[in-house]
């Protein structure tokens, strides 16, 4: 049982985060189109849903906070408050606060958080009270009826219609749960507990008349009801919302304070109609909802009504009675419609535990390996029929692999959208006007990559705003538009996903960076560097402290951390910049972290995998005109100089020579290189098995895989190998 | 004993409570003991795939039921010459828990397995401060069995992740 609760609790938290993300997006959008009522609804819905679920889990702090937010949003929905920048700021702040509250659920209560809640709620209240004051006219505006009114107004009403209204100054809630409430997973008492947070329950009378005799009692059915008197200055809608989850199959009547006696009469009629045995009148007087005299009056009214109106349908009666006012009905209908739409949407997607998905993908990985093994055996046997069917199977397996990998793919747009906020906040902090442009938000990549790329991207975006884009005055002087632009762009490029963070700012002065690096002893002056190499220096650790670069227009805050994060994802990062025009940081990431298309080569007794996307061509080595006389390691490839690495020598076997060597031409970071291998073994679906921790610092090998034969093969990290060769002298092999 | 080494994967039942049980084995005619608690299994010396550009005490990796597990050459780790493979060579799979990186599996190559011995605590003396053939901090104690002393290895130290992952310098010096 507690397991189920824990699970529900986790779901609650993760759902809240999703909802908050949605809220943020909607708030951002509201800034663009403040008139769009759908957006306000959406924001309201988030606050409301969180409040509802938090109530179920007894999270009082969250409930009371969201309630305040909801109240303010309600004013907006009713058109009493208009959305403006200040309001959005406040709402965003509330959203952030809510996030902190939810994060803090499992922690002991934090004083500072509670104080923040108070402060934000006060601000919201202030906004609302301004409006409420302006709205204090006694007009019979139907919308005013559902928003909270000071009790004074009721007294005025009561004065006018004294004889028709009861003296009870509390809400009366008649709550009769549907038979299936338990089966639907609801706990009736939790609603009442939650209700207690909106006000004071002055009296609660259980209605147990529906409980059948023991033989007929189904323990899974709910037969209980409550007559509740409730002291609160909240509005009817809010109370109705408390019971939202059970509203469909339960009978709930909510009578405002000093309701018309007729309403009570109606209530009694309804309940009596359903079950003649209800001792409802008795309960009402017991709870203090009605006095004895009022009850008698009501009963009298009821009888005359029954006589005159015979049988009116319930809805009609309700409307006539004014127990549901028009706007409440409107809201309810709209909600019903939205609910329907949401159901429609939900049926299209399923929430799956990421761990289960990972297990599935691991299994598919094993399947791919096993499939490769079968294929190998079939080839050895040489049975044509068998080979045929094995190839069908492997094609299917390949498809399953692709599809199951796609399950983990998510659009990067969601991550990008988060930066609207970053750009907005940071640029405001710095007093710059900056626009964020997003391109290619529908590019898909692995969820695990998305999760890890957020932080580096934040760094880059912040840097672009902080150091990249100049102040408006500077920009105007330079003849650029006063508003700076930061562009986030994403696209696929030969098996990689590329994410660009570009700005149209001042660019990076490569020479300045270089001089700084020389000063810091990162590079020696004797070492001539190309422009691109100089720019790359900003990614080095020594240049990462802010004071080191604050006099440069370049970046520097934690760029080495960014680089490390990207490399941990088997990605690379490039810097491109033009003085006065802006800079672009380009991150290249593998599409997925678990399976790649590989090219299998043999060196000595071992096999190695090269990522297929980086392979350009394969040529027999002997056929090539080699230039070995000067000890150089390069060949003439159709008039191009192609440096090469001899893998056999590099991997420690100096003397061995295969009879026929081949050269695999690979592309790495914009340049070509050759790798001399003994055998070409063809394409291979490679399931990446991470290497043990003890190889964490090994460069040149990015992982391992298990071949169909059960042997292990290393996956080569071409870029690292080439870099190592570039660094380790020109005759390393 | 022969059967022990030839069975593909013989799991050693972990024993309950404070265990003074040690797996004893030979490395170049010297007997060593290793507490059996972290030992997962002993498997036949199968195909070990060499990993390029690593120090010589890393023999390579093996496929252990779908997991790629590195194999450590114990003599090389002690700074001795590697022992030649023989038909009784086998790989002891050890699972070590690390504070920050979870449990990791490592294999160690040994020349031959002897037996599992109960060595009571009173028969275990401290490591000599010098004179042993292996680094003092690799020794957790000296077990007295009959008239002989067995070097009991400290698996955490011998297979220290921090030390094993110092691949960089070595890799650099490789040709």
- Give residue A731's pLDDT band: very low, low, confident or very high (50, 70, 90): very low
Residue A503 has pLDDT above 50, yes or no: yes
Q: How far apart are CA A267 and CA A273, in angstroms?
A: 10
A394 lies in the same domain as A314: no
Q: What integer best gives the mean pLDDT of chain A?
A: 76
Percentages (nearest 5) of helix, strand, coil residues in chain A: 50, 20, 30
Tallying the residues shown for chain A, one arrives at 733
CB-nearest to B165 from A605, A697, A700 is A697
- Give residue A577's pLDDT band: very low, low, confident or very high (50, 70, 90): confident
Q: Other CB atoms closer than 10 Å to residue B139's CB: what's the count?
A: 20
Chain B residues 53-72 with a CB less than 8 Å from chain A: 53-54, 58, 60-63, 66-70
Paired residues of A577 in beta bridges: A583
Q: How far apart are CA A237 and CA A247, in angstroms?
A: 12
Q: How far apart are CA B108 and CA B73, in angstroms?
A: 6
| Ramachandran quadrant class, B21 (left: phi over 0; alpha: psi -120 to 50; beta: rest) | beta
Q: How many pairs of residues across A and B have Cβ atoms under 8 Å apart?
A: 86
A122 lies in the same domain as A199: no
CA angle A360, A363, A366 (to 5 degrees): 155
Structure tokens belonging to residue A492: 């696929």
Predicted pLDDT at A548: 39
A667 lies in the same domain as A570: no
Is residue A141 assigned to a domain?
A: no
Domains located in chain B, CATH noted: 2-166 (2.40.50.180)
DSSP structural state of residue A248: T
- Give residue A277's pLDDT band: very low, low, confident or very high (50, 70, 90): low
Residue B170 has pLDDT above 50, yes or no: no
Predicted pLDDT at A229: 82
Chain A residues 360-379 with a CB less than 8 Å from chain B: 366, 369
How deeply is A10 buried, as exposed, middle or buried, from its count of CB atoms within 10 A (0-12, 13-18, 19+)? exposed
CA distance, residue A691 to nearest chain B CA (Å):
7
Q: Which of A408, A428, A453 is the last residue of a domain?
A: A408
CA distance, residue B17 to nearest chain A CA (Å):
30
Pairing of strands A484-493, A434-439: parallel
Chain B residues 87-146 with a CB less than 8 Å from chain A: 98, 101, 104-106
Is residue A611 assigned to a domain?
A: yes
Phi/psi for A460 (5° steps) reads: -65, -40
Who contacts A155 (Cβ-Cβ below 8 Å, separation ≥6)?
none
Mutation site, A712, A715, A717, A723, interface B, largest B CB count within 10 A: A712
CB contact under 8 A, A689 and B68: yes
Residue B66 has pLDDT above 70, yes or no: yes
A74 lies in the same domain as A219: no
Q: Which of A524, A556, A590 is the last residue of a domain?
A: A590
Higher pLDDT, A1 or A343: A343
A569 lies in the same domain as A497: yes
CB contact under 8 A, B61 and A654: no
CB A256 within 8 A of CB A225: no
**Distances B104 to A128, A278, A500, B93, B156 between C-alpha atoms, Å:** 59, 68, 37, 10, 12
Least confident of A92-101, A270-279, A427-436, B85-94: A270-279
- Give residue A161's pLDDT band: very low, low, confident or very high (50, 70, 90): very low
CB-nearest to B50 from A606, A696, A706 is A606
Query: Among B56, B61, B144, which Cα is nearest to B104's?
Result: B61
HEC string of A118-155? HHHHHHHHHHHHHHHHHCCCCCCCHHHHHCCCCHHHHH
- Give residue A159's pLDDT band: very low, low, confident or very high (50, 70, 90): very low
CB contact under 8 A, B101 and A693: yes
Structure tokens belonging to residue A420: 């609207």
CB A698 within 8 A of CB B51: yes
DSSP structural state of residue A465: I
Residue A82 has pLDDT above 80, yes or no: no
Is residue A284 assigned to a domain?
A: yes
Structure tokens belonging to residue A242: 């408390």
Residue % of chain A over a pLDDT of 70: 76
A623 lies in the same domain as A674: yes
Q: A635 lies in which domain range? A: 595-727
Higher pLDDT, B68 or B167: B68
The pLDDT of A650-674, averaged and rounded, is: 77
Contact residues on chain B for A700, CB-CB shorter than 8 A: 52-53
Instruction: Give the highest mean pLDDT range of A41-55, A156-170, A253-267, A614-628.
Output: A41-55
The pLDDT of A340-359, averaged and rounded, is: 70
Total number of domains in chain A: 5
A586 lies in the same domain as A451: yes
Is residue A374 assigned to a domain?
A: yes
CB-nearest to B51 from A695, A696, A706 is A695
For B47, name the nearest residue in chain A, comparing CA atoms only. Answer: A711
- Give residue A342's pLDDT band: very low, low, confident or very high (50, 70, 90): low
Mutation site, A692, A703, A705, A727, interface B, largest B CB count within 10 A: A692
In the sheet with B148-153, reading across from the earlier edge strand, the strands are B112-118, B21-27, B30-35, B148-153, B139-145, B124-125
Q: What does B74-113 look like in DSSP terms, one character per residue?
A: HHHHTTSPPPPP-TT-EEEEEEEEETTTEEEEEEEEESEE
CB A481 within 8 A of CB A475: yes
CB contact under 8 A, B106 and A692: yes
Residue A316 has pLDDT above 90, yes or no: no
Higher pLDDT, A699 or A460: A460
Pairing of strands B139-145, B124-125: antiparallel
The pLDDT of A139-159, averaged and rounded, is: 41
CB contact under 8 A, B47 and A366: no
Q: How far apart are CA A701 and CA A716, in angstroms?
A: 5
Please indicate if any CB of chain B lies within 8 Å of the CB of A693: yes
Least confident of A28-32, A729-733, B147-151: A729-733
Chain A residues 572-631 with a CB less than 8 Å from chain B: 605-606
Query: Among B118, B146, B112, B119, which Cα is nearest to B1's?
Result: B112
In the sheet with A634-637, reading across from the earlier edge strand, the strands are A615-620, A662-668, A671-677, A640-646, A634-637, A626-627
What CATH number does the domain containing A40 carry? Answer: 1.20.120.160
Higher pLDDT, B24 or A18: B24
- Give residue A200's pLDDT band: very low, low, confident or very high (50, 70, 90): confident
CB contact under 8 A, B61 and A692: yes
A172 lies in the same domain as A305: yes
Who contacts A307 (Cβ-Cβ below 8 Å, separation ≥6)?
none
Structure tokens belonging to residue A695: 């190889």
Paired residues of A674 in beta bridges: A644, A665
CB contact under 8 A, B68 and A695: no
CA distance, residue B78 to nearest chain A CA (Å):
17
Residue B12 has pLDDT above 60, yes or no: no
Q: What integer best gives the mean pLDDT of chain B?
A: 79
A510 lies in the same domain as A525: yes
ipTM: 0.78
Phi/psi for A58 (5° steps) reads: 70, 30
- Give residue B45's pLDDT band: very low, low, confident or very high (50, 70, 90): confident
Contact residues on chain A for B67, CB-CB shorter than 8 A: 689
Over residues A104-117, the pLDDT tens digits come to 877 777 778 888 88
Q: How far apart are CA A436 and CA A425, in angstroms?
A: 12
Is residue A144 assigned to a domain?
A: no
The CA-to-CA distance between both ends of chain A, in Å, stands at: 65
- Give residue B28's pLDDT band: very low, low, confident or very high (50, 70, 90): confident
The CA-to-CA distance between both ends of chain B, in Å, stands at: 41
Predicted pLDDT at A534: 79
Over residues A595-622, the pLDDT tens digits come to 777 899 998 888 999 988 788 999 887 7
Chain A residues 640-659 with a CB less than 8 Å from chain B: 649-652, 654
Instruction: Give the highest mean pLDDT range of A322-326, A378-382, A449-453.
Output: A378-382
A122 lies in the same domain as A263: no
CB A67 within 8 A of CB A198: yes
Residue B107 has pLDDT above 90, yes or no: yes
A585 lies in the same domain as A445: yes
Predicted pLDDT at A332: 59
CB contact under 8 A, B66 and A366: yes
Residue A653 has pLDDT above 70, yes or no: no
Q: Which of A560, A590, A620 is the last residue of a domain?
A: A590
- Give residue A286's pLDDT band: very low, low, confident or very high (50, 70, 90): low
Q: Other CB atoms closer than 10 Å to residue B97's CB: what's the count?
A: 10
DSSP structural state of residue A467: I
Higher pLDDT, A344 or B99: B99
Is residue A145 assigned to a domain?
A: no
CB A113 within 8 A of CB A121: no
Over residues A514-566, the pLDDT tens digits come to 887 787 777 777 777 787 777 877 777 656 434 434 433 344 447 777 888 88
Predicted pLDDT at A149: 40
DSSP structural state of residue A523: S
What CATH number does the domain containing A427 carry? Answer: 3.30.565.10
Least confident of A81-85, A380-384, B114-118: A81-85
Instruction: Give the highest mean pLDDT range of A169-178, A278-287, A496-505.
Output: A496-505
Structure tokens belonging to residue A337: 């419609």
Q: H/E element holding A340?
A: helix A326-346
The pLDDT of A425-441, averaged and rounded, is: 85
Least confident of A151-165, A174-188, A458-472, B86-100: A151-165
Contact residues on chain A for B8, CB-CB shorter than 8 A: none
A358 lies in the same domain as A328: no
Predicted pLDDT at A531: 79
How deeply is A681 buried, as exposed, middle or buried, from its count of CB atoms within 10 A (0-12, 13-18, 19+)? middle
CB contact under 8 A, A697 and B50: no
Contact residues on chain B for A650, CB-CB shorter than 8 A: 52-53
| Ramachandran quadrant class, A664 (left: phi over 0; alpha: psi -120 to 50; beta: rest) | beta
Is residue A376 assigned to a domain?
A: yes
CB contact under 8 A, A710 and B63: yes
Residue % of chain A over a pLDDT of 90: 4
Is residue A147 assigned to a domain?
A: no
């Amino acid at each position: 049982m507690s397991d189920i609760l824990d699970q529900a609790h986790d779901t609650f938290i993760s759902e809240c985060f999703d909802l908050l993300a949605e809220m943020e997006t909607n708030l951002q959008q509201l800034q663009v189109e403040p008139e769009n009522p759908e957006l306000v609804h959406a924001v309201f819905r988030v606050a409301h849903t969180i409040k509802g679920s938090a109530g179920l889990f007894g999270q009082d702090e969250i409930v009371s906070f969201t309630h305040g937010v909801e109240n303010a949003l309600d004013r907006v929905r009713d058109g009493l408050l208009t959305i403006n920048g200040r309001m959005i700021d406040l709402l965003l702040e509330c959203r952030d606060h809510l996030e902190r509250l939810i994060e803090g659920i499992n922690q002991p209560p934090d004083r500072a958080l509670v104080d923040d809640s108070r402060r934000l709620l006060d601000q919201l209240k202030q906004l609302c009270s301004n409006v409420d004051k302006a709205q204090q006219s006694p007009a019979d505006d139907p919308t005013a009826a559902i928003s909270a009114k000071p009790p004074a107004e009721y007294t005025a009403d009561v004065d006018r219609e004294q004889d028709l209204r009861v003296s009870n100054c509390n809400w009366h809630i008649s709550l009769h749960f549907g038979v299936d409430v338990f089966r639907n997973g609801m706990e009736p008492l939790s609603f009442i507990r939650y209700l207690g947070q909106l006000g004071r329950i002055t009296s609660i009378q259980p209605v147990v008349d529906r409980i059948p005799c023991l033989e007929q009692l189904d323990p899974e059915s709910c037969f209980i009801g409550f007559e509740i008197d409730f002291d609160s200055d909240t509005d009817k809608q809010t109370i109705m919302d408390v019971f939202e989850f059970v509203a469909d199959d339960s009978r709930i009547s909510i009578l405002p304070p000093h309701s018309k006696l007729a309403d009570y009469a109606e209530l009694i009629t309804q309940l009596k109609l359903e079950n003649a045995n209800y001792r409802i009148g008795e309960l009402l007087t017991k709870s203090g909802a009605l006095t004895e005299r009022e009850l008698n009056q009501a009963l009298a009214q009821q009888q005359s009504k029954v006589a005159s109106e015979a049988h009116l349908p319930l809805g009609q009666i309700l409307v006539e009675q004014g127990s549901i006012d028009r706007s409440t009905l409107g809201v309810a209908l709209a909600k019903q419609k939205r609910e329907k739409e949401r159901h429609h949407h939900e049926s299209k997607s399923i929430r799956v535990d990421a761990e289960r998905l990972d297990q599935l993908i691991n299994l598919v990985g094993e399947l791919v390996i096993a499939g490769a093994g079968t294929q190998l055996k079939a080839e050895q046997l040489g049975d044509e029929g068998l080979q045929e069917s094995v190839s069908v199977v492997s094609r299917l397996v390949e498809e399953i692999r692709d599809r199951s990998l796609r399950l983990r793919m998510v659009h990067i747009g969601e991550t990008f959208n988060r930066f609207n906020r970053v750009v907005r906040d940071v640029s405001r902090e710095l007093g710059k006007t900056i626009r964020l442009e997003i391109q290619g938000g529908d590019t898909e990549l692995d969820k695990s990559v998305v999760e890890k790329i957020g932080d580096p991207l934040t760094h880059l975006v912040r840097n672009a705003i902080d150091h990249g884009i100049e102040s408006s005055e500077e920009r105007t002087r330079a003849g650029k538009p006063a508003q700076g632009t930061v562009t986030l762009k994403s696209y696929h490029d030969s098996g990689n996903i590329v994410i660009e963070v570009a700005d149209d700012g001042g660019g990076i002065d490569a020479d300045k960076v270089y001089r700084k690096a020389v000063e810091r002893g990162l590079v020696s002056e004797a070492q001539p560097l190309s422009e691109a190499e100089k720019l790359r220096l900003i990614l080095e650790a020594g240049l990462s402290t802010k004071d080191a670069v604050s006099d440069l227009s370049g970046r520097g805050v934690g760029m080495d951390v960014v680089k490390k994060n990207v490399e941990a994802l088997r990605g690379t990062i490039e810097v491109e910049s033009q003085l006065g025009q802006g800079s672009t940081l380009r991150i290249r990431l593998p599409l997925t972290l678990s399976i790649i298309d590989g090219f299998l080569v043999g060196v000595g007794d071992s096999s190695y995998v090269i990522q297929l996307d980086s392979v350009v061509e394969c040529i027999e080595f002997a056929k090539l005109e080699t230039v070995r006389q000067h000890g150089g390691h390069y060949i003439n490839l159709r008039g191009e100089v192609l440096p090469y690495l001899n893998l056999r020598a590099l991997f420690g076997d100096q003397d061995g020579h295969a009879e026929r060597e081949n050269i695999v031409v690979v592309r790495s970071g914009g340049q070509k290189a050759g790798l001399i291998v003994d055998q070409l073994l063809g394409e291979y679906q490679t399931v990446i098995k991470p290497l043990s921790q003890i190889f964490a610092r090994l460069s040149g090998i990015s992982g391992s895989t298990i071949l169909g034969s059960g042997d292990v093969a290393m996956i080569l990290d071409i870029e690292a190998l080439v870099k190592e060769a570039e660094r380790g002298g020109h005759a390393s092999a | 004993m022969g059967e022990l080494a030839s069975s593909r994967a013989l799991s050693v039942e972990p024993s309950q409570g404070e265990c003074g049980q040690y797996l004893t084995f030979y490395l170049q005619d010297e007997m060593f003991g290793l507490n059996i608690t972290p030992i997962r299994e002993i498997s036949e010396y199968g195909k070990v795939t060499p990993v390029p550009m690593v120090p010589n005490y890393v023999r390579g990796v093996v496929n252990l039921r779908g997991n790629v597990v590195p194999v450590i050459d114990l003599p090389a780790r002690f700074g001795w010459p590697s022992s030649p493979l023989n038909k009784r060579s086998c790989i002891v799979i050890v699972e070590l828990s690390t504070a920050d990186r979870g449990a990791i599996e490592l294999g160690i190559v040994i020349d031959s397995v002897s037996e599992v011995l109960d060595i009571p605590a009173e028969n275990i003396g401290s490591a000599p401060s010098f004179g042993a053939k292996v680094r003092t901090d690799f020794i957790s104690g000296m077990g007295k069995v009959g008239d002989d002393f067995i070097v009991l290895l400290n698996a955490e130290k011998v297979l220290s992740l921090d030390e094993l992952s110092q691949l960089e310098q070595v890799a650099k010096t490789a040709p």
